[in-house]
A and B are shown apart, each in its own frame.
Chain A
Amino acid sequence: MANNKKKNLTPIQQEYQQFQSEREVKRPVVKNCIKAFFVGGLICLIGQFIQTFFIYNFNFTEQTAGNPTVAVMIFIAMLLTGFGVYDRLAQFAGAGSAVPVTGFGNAVISAAIEHRSEGFILGVGGNMFKLAGSVIMSGVFAAFIVALIKTLLIQWGAL
């Protein structure tokens, strides 16, 4: 891929890109991964506490406690987004705050806040899912493929 792209570049461009790349500050990938692991883990731990709370204090089972837990987590993400904290957390945590359901909530809520100035219909309604839309699309498509494979395996008697 990278080599394919380079084919269209002149020698001067290639030489400069090499020159530039030597001076470019790279993303600290290992450090980012470690931070993402711990912050992401911490968010999941909080989620686990909330789920356990619902199971022990209300009439929820392990299967049914998922929905109220997700709702509470997204509500917290909404508050943090509205108060301008979530984006700062994300600069530190990276994927750690983007991958859990709170990151999905943040993507929807931040877009809704951002486009409130263009009105409720065209602004909020039209833009709310501009970031999260691709996540939903990928999720639905992936689920479809997996369901297709499962159906075929059952048809062929493999399952």
Chain B
Amino acid sequence: MRTWEFEQRPVIVSTGTVGGPFEANGRLADDFDTLHDDLWLNEATYEKAHKVLFEEASLRALEKAGITKEQVDFFIGGDLINQITPTSFTAKTIGAGYFGLFGACSTSMEGLALSAFIINNGGAACIVTGSASHNAAVEKQFRYPTEYGAQKPPTSQWTVTGAGASVVMAQGEGPVVTSATIGKVVDMGLTDPMNMGGAMAPAAVDTIETHFRDRKIDASHYDLIATGDLGHIGREVAFDLLKKHGTDIPEEKFQDCGLLIYREDQPVLAGASGAGCSAVVTYGHLLNRMKKGELRRILIVATGALLSPLTFQQGETIPCIAHAVSIEYGGGNL
């Protein structure tokens, strides 16, 4: 069994989302707490700006919940930079017990699943969890220099500049985390780092099917199933693969965070990606829709490609993972 059911119903009491200039022009601009019009965020380096993104999102979430840093038991988060330094600096600012995660773009739900599990079992009363990515800092590490003129293929994705954090507590008002399915590494032998959607799709399919099987439910249980950041190609592949396996999900219910965040006319090729992508879309847009009553039960399946620049240069395949967390709001029972 890779699925946890949370009988104590841990609550997401508040969230904080911060985005950059590209996100401000996107479709979900209204769902951000803070938007910056400068990629540098008044810092000397992109890495420092990355840290500030995460700090702002975490502090904003605490402020909205009316909680001080001293009341936080644990901070659980991650990002894509080597040794997850932006997260560790954020942890220093918050000053709580700290778990640093690396799950690439699946980190948001890995953190939420662990937070809910710890709270459900009485291990803490208040946890801050989240993830972040910064377009220029991540591109610098994984691809080419920002200003280098390399033509990207239509399968490549745009790294989100953004951070999403949430405050998870044992008691309070807000959407509740009802269950989580922890993903296993799925590697279909793909090696193209410019087509991560295609590599990650089988991991998302595996986690969704495991979730349904473990909880003995089907797609009709949810109003929305949102994958992390598969993009156009990955989403289509995952949808067709689920259909082939006999898991039917109505097309309009099967969304992707990487496709929700930007407008069609933004030059993002196959869609968005990055550790901040599923975090800002879930903690901003999707939870706002739940609070408006448009959605009651959702399943977020954050997908991650666990490659490094070193492994793909050495010709290794791309190991992928997906973590699913179900969130409910508004008088529902488990």
Q: Which residues of A contact B (CB under 8 A)?
A: 8-10, 12-14, 16-17, 19-20, 23-28, 32, 81-82, 84, 86-87, 89-91, 93-95, 97-98, 103, 106-107, 109-111, 113-115, 117, 131
Q: Which of B146, B189, B267 contacts A13 (CB 8 A)?
A: B189
Query: How far, in angstroms, from A23 to B155 measured CA to CA in the complex?
Result: 10
Q: Can you report 21 residue pairs joining A to B where beta carbons are below 8 Å apart?
A: A12-B188, A19-B237, A19-B240, A20-B188, A20-B190, A20-B198, A20-B201, A23-B233, A24-B155, A25-B155, A28-B154, A84-B147, A86-B149, A90-B151, A93-B151, A97-B149, A110-B148, A113-B147, A114-B148, A117-B45, A131-B148
Contacts of B66 in A (CB 8 A): none
Query: How far, in angstroms, from A25 to B44 measured CA to CA in the complex?
Result: 38
Contacts of B152 in A (CB 8 A): 91
The reply to whether B233 and A25 form a contact with Cβ atoms under 8 Å apart is yes
B144 to A: closest C-beta gap in Å: 7
- Contacts of B142-177 to chain A: CB distance below 8 A: 144-155
- Contacts of B32-65 to chain A: CB distance below 8 A: 44-47
The reply to whether B44 and A98 form a contact with Cβ atoms under 8 Å apart is no
Q: Which of B187, B236, B267 contacts A23 (CB 8 A)?
A: B236
The reply to whether A114 and B147 form a contact with Cβ atoms under 8 Å apart is yes
Select the residue from B146, B154, B189, B237 with max chain A CB neighbours within 10 A: B189
Q: Digit string of B223-264 for contact with A (CB within 8 Å is 1, else 0)? A: 000000000110011001100100000000000000000000
B333 to A: closest C-beta gap in Å: 38
Q: Across chains A and B, which 4 residue pairs bring their CB atoms closest together, nearest first?
A: A90-B149, A114-B145, A110-B147, A117-B45
Q: Which of B145, B151, B153, B187 contacts A113 (CB 8 A)?
A: B145
The reply to whether B140 and A114 form a contact with Cβ atoms under 8 Å apart is yes
Contacts of B244 in A (CB 8 A): 19
Quick one: given A19-B241, A24-B198, are A103 and B149 in contact (CB under 8 Å)?
yes
Quick one: given A9-B189, A110-B146, A117-B44, are A23 and B151 in contact (CB under 8 Å)?
no
Q: Which of B45, B188, B267 contacts A16 (CB 8 A)?
A: B188
Contacts of A82 in B (CB 8 A): 147
The reply to whether A111 and B198 form a contact with Cβ atoms under 8 Å apart is no
Query: How far, in angstroms, from A106 to B44 measured CA to CA in the complex?
Result: 23
The reply to whether A27 and B154 form a contact with Cβ atoms under 8 Å apart is yes
The reply to whether B151 and A91 form a contact with Cβ atoms under 8 Å apart is yes
The reply to whether A109 and B147 form a contact with Cβ atoms under 8 Å apart is yes
Quick one: given A17-B188, A32-B151, A117-B47, are A110 and B233 in contact (CB under 8 Å)?
no
The reply to whether A25 and B232 form a contact with Cβ atoms under 8 Å apart is yes
B282 CB within 8 Å of chain A? no
Contacts of A16 in B (CB 8 A): 188-189, 202, 241
The reply to whether A17 and B155 form a contact with Cβ atoms under 8 Å apart is no
Q: Digit string of B193-228 for contact with A (CB within 8 Å is 1, else 0)? A: 001001001100000000000000000000000000
Query: How far, in angstroms, from A20 to B232 measured CA to CA in the complex?
Result: 12
The reply to whether B236 and A107 form a contact with Cβ atoms under 8 Å apart is no
B270 CB within 8 Å of chain A? yes
The reply to whether A27 and B233 form a contact with Cβ atoms under 8 Å apart is no
Contacts of B149 in A (CB 8 A): 81, 86-87, 89-91, 93, 97-98, 103, 106, 110
